[in-house]
Amino acid sequence: MQKSFRHIIWSREMLLVAGFYAAFAVFYFLAINWSSGITSGNGYYQYQVFMDYPLKGLLTLPIWWLMFRRLVNWQLSSKILLHLLLLPIFVKGWQQLYYALCTALGLGYLRGPGEWWDIYIPALFYVLQFGIFHTYDYYQKVQESQQREAMLKQTALQSELTALKAQLNPHFLYNTFNTISASVPPEQEYTRELIADLADLFRYQLWASNQEVVPLKVEVDFVKKYLQLEQARFGDRLQIKIQLDPRAEDAPVIPMLLQPLVENAIRHGISPLVDGGSIAIIIEEIGGQIHINISDTGVGFTANAKTSGQGIGLSNTRRRLQLRYGSELVVSPIHPQGSSINIIIPREIYHAESNPH
């Protein structure tokens, strides 16, 4: 659906650009005829129209692609400086190609001081068209930002509703845990610790539901407690490896980012295997970006379709990443067995949230 939406946007932009050039070609043709009294049947001006604006369009296309596709993350001020460099290239390129075609077809063109019109008009056209393109691009970004903000508000509202449901009587839940823990005989200290870890999990989920971001180290500590409980259930069937780059410990991330992914790997990957398997969480800071990899030696993709990214936990996490960071959650198979999940929190988002002021 996302590719289809992008295709629609691309087609609409191409139609707008084509309509832009067609309108200017018609206005140019009519202006020439009305100002000179020449009838529209004169082939000389028809040839000019058919050569002039298609040439401008051909020269505009690579610049448009550079500005709005390749350098989409550049600041507008940097793009303006680049325009100052590209404008004379555009103008002289068009002029030389236009004159060469006129010569080849035996048509006349402006000479001497009149050539300045063939510099001024294309330069004015360049400024006008890219002014329109940048205005349209700004409008599109505002629309996308508003849609993203609306979706974030909807997601936040859903989280609040979930938190409200969890807050029906949290003290009753914690008191119940404490009661159960107190009833455990002293010689079963390990059981008491498991109950305490479970209480901590519920307490963190309730707290995290009211937070926009949490330090990555806090999120990893939460996942460690979750894995300790899972390891108590699986025993030797579950091996765990967690590696957190110290430089990434304070990185702000959306809460409950890792746990659904880890749970998915255990539930759909490792649990079906008689011998169990291992799960590894590797988090690094590379070039100012946070790289998160969660891999397992479970059944992989062929045995269970949910590990391919269609499960509820993965789908929700994927949506949250796209809305918050514009990042993709990449799920891929591991040979001979297992699956791997990769997430990259972009440099500009990471630093912006690390330094909100």
- Whether residue 142 is found in the same domain as residue 276: no
Domain residue limits at 295: 235-354
Residue 302 or 14, more confident: 14
- Whether residue 36 is found in the same domain as residue 143: yes
Q: How many domains does the chain have?
A: 2
- The whole-angstrom separation of Cα 224 and Cα 240 is 9
The answer to whether residue 183 is domain-embedded is no
Enter the pTM of the model.
Answer: 0.52
Name the nearest CA neighbour of 177 among 161, 157, 200, 158.
Answer: 200
- Whether residue 16 is found in the same domain as residue 138: yes
Q: How confident is the model at residue 3 (pLDDT cuts 50, 70, 90)?
A: very low
pLDDT, residue 27, reads 72
- Whether residue 37 is found in the same domain as residue 145: yes
- Whether residue 16 is found in the same domain as residue 128: yes
The answer to whether residue 120 is domain-embedded is yes
Query: What residues are paired with 296 via a beta bridge?
Result: 279, 339
Average pLDDT over residues 178-191: 76
Q: How confident is the model at residue 277 (pLDDT cuts 50, 70, 90)?
A: very high
Domain boundary among 153, 188, 210: 153
Domain boundary among 98, 122, 153: 153
- The whole-angstrom separation of Cα 300 and Cα 293 is 15
Average pLDDT over residues 304-320: 63
Contacts (Cβ under 8 Å, ≥6 apart) of 102: 51, 108, 109
- Residues 289 and 283 sit within 8 Å (Cβ to Cβ): no
The CATH number for 265's domain is 3.30.565.10
Domain boundary among 96, 119, 153: 153
- Whether residue 103 is found in the same domain as residue 8: yes
pLDDT of 65-102, one tens digit each?
A: 898 888 888 888 899 999 999 999 999 999 999 888 88
The dihedral built from the CA positions of residue 28, 29, 30 and 35, taken in this order, carries a sign that is positive
Q: How confident is the model at residue 1 (pLDDT cuts 50, 70, 90)?
A: very low
Q: What one-character-per-residue DSSP string does 64-116 give?
A: HHIIIIITTTS-HHHHHHHHHHHHHHHHHHHHHHHHHHHHHHT-----GGGGG
- Whether residue 246 is found in the same domain as residue 336: yes
Contacts (Cβ under 8 Å, ≥6 apart) of 329: 309, 314, 317, 318, 321, 341, 342, 343
180 SS3 class: helix
- Whether residue 148 is found in the same domain as residue 243: no
Residue 276 or 211, more confident: 276
pLDDT, residue 22, reads 72
pLDDT of 213-244, one tens digit each?
A: 899 999 999 999 889 888 888 888 999 999 99
The answer to whether residue 249 is domain-embedded is yes
